[in-house]
Homo-oligomer: A and B are copies of this chain.
């Protein structure tokens, strides 16, 4: 019987669980973030990264990489944040190709505001279900899944 092939093996179950947990967490948190502050999860992540960055500014490329978006994705996301005044652009004197994304005062205010509820909601979701130790285990295991994603065959041959 060929449905042998279809039997869920353990890594398949892990992948399925990952898909479901991700969907459950992001749907809930992004709905809350959007309802409470009109931000998407990516918006929030961008504000957060900028808030931590020196001078509250980052190159768009670097931002894109950190929030897991493509170059065009970041352009459009920042378009939105610029339109609402949370972020503004600034030229780089050393390299005129680069355009910094800079967190405005309004943006910092928004970030603080959003953080207050968002961090609490994350905590509610995770801590209601997992102990401190389990949380740490989970984080560690998940981290192992995206390490060395592209390090395939970088060794010199022989």
Contacts and interface: CB of A to CB of B under 8 A. Distances in A.
A105 to B, nearest CB: 12
**Main SS class of interface, A:** helix
A11 B120 CA distance: 9
Contact of A141 (B20, B48, B51, B141): B141
A145 B24 contact: yes
Contact of A68 (B14, B23, B125, B134): B23
Contacts of A48: 6
B52 A146 contact: no
Given A12-B122, A125-B145, A138-B138, A21 B20 contact: no
Contacts of A126: 11, 14-15, 145
Contacts of A18: 18, 21-22, 25, 142
Interface of A: 2-3, 5-6, 9-15, 17-26, 28-29, 41, 48, 51-52, 68, 111-112, 115-116, 119, 122-123, 125-127, 129-130, 132, 134-139, 141-147, 149
A150 to B, nearest CB: 10
A100 B12 CA distance: 26
